Amino acid sequence: MDTESFDLEVVDVVEETADAHSVSFRVPDGAQEHFRYRPGQFLTLAVPSDRTGVAARCYSLSSSPHDDGPLTVTVKRTADGYASNWICDNLRPGTTIRSLSPSGIFTPSSLDSDLLLLAGGSGVTPVMSILRTALAQGTGRIVLFYANRDERSVIFAAELRRLAADHPERLSVVHWLESVQGLPDQAQLKAFAAQYVDRDAFVCGPAPFMKATVAALRELDFPRERRHQEKFISLGGNPFGDHDQVEQSESEIASAEADEDAPDEITDAAPSQGAVRLEVELDGETYAFDDWQPGTMMLDHLESKGVPAPFSCREGECSACAVRLLEGDVKMVYNDVLDDEDLADGIRLACQSQPVTDTVRATYH
């Protein structure tokens, strides 16, 4: 993803529920390549702020990249959330908002895989993009477990009914309503997911839902490579680069909450003392360089070489730039999104990673 931002024109706003709006955009002429995306990715929007100029927020795309429809995010109002309320109150057809290119790694490697999708509340937004795309372009079977407060809170209710009716052999939708069944606990989630242990699981929702669901999948021994979770927090930095600060007064979540136990720093390992060899796999290509300098972030080095490495916040506060180490080690300066299991699995944030060993190999897959 590049650092250039674009003014997106709003072409439609749909009130999905009383507190959730889907906002569709027209991509400017000549910018189509910048807005090609994979199902499950997000946009970083520049919400105007009287106090700080801009509040940068990430919102998941609910649209599918394969149906020729407009680029669409779905935003749910958050109590005391400045950005989500501003979007729902102010964006109308004809208005514009600045955006960075799509980013994120919450996306299936194959649309033909059998999928287990587990969503809570507005966490259905990236899940809906995956579901729509897999049904249109893939061959796998899909089960969606969707938890909400009550029936009126169900985003995309009518479309989910239609899709299930149109694809009875491939799609099963299971609704869980707190008003009827109470909050789903870990044991209940485990019992449900136990029927689908051979599938790729995608989890997105509020922090308690995420915590219980991921714990249930771990109990069922879902391997890490088949267990995906979306983690976004409000950005503390400004990826748009034209203001010194961003709005930091809210703890609004874009499509899911971050793990509260994520450590700030990873390792005290000493940095490399000389130029380092860096090999990175990205989108089927391998990039190799022998001059990665100590103290330089991996993302910065890749950008200096013209590599189209993905990122969003550059602050260690989202997972858009995440890589998996294949060889060697790095020191992360800051991390507010990866948990201990991510780190143990070799996942690192390229925007915060400096070399420790003489050779580092990593992949964006």
CATH classification at residue 297 = 3.10.20.30
pLDDT at residue 254, as a whole number:
37
Residue 301: inside a domain, yes or no?
yes
Count of beta carbons in the 10 Å neighbourhood of residue 352: 24
Of 173, 116, 163, 170, the C-alpha closest to 140 is 170
CATH of the domain at 33: 2.40.30.10
CATH of the domain at 159: 3.40.50.80
Residue 220: inside a domain, yes or no?
yes
Q: How many domains does the chain have?
A: 3
Cβ atoms of 60 and 102 closer than 8 Å:
no
Q: What are the distances in angstroms from CA 195 to CA 143, 189, 198, 200, 226?
A: 10, 11, 9, 12, 15
Residue 307: inside a domain, yes or no?
yes
Q: Are residues 135 and 216 in the same domain?
A: yes
Pairing of strands 322-327, 359-363: antiparallel
pLDDT at residue 263, as a whole number:
37
Q: Are residues 126 and 209 in the same domain?
A: yes
Q: Are residues 280 and 333 in the same domain?
A: yes
Low-confidence ranges of the chain (pLDDT < 70): 1-3, 52, 232-238, 241-273
Residue 196: inside a domain, yes or no?
yes
Of 234, 235, 227, the C-alpha closest to 210 is 227
Give the global pTM. 0.79
pLDDT at residue 313, as a whole number:
73
Q: Are residues 82 and 30 in the same domain?
A: yes
pLDDT at residue 256, as a whole number:
37
By residue range, what is the domain housing residue 81?
Answer: 6-99
pLDDT at residue 232, as a whole number:
59
pLDDT at residue 237, as a whole number:
61
Residue 264: inside a domain, yes or no?
no
pLDDT at residue 248, as a whole number:
37
pLDDT at residue 336, as a whole number:
79
CA distance 333 to 294: 13
Of 293, 255, 299, 243, the C-alpha closest to 273 is 293
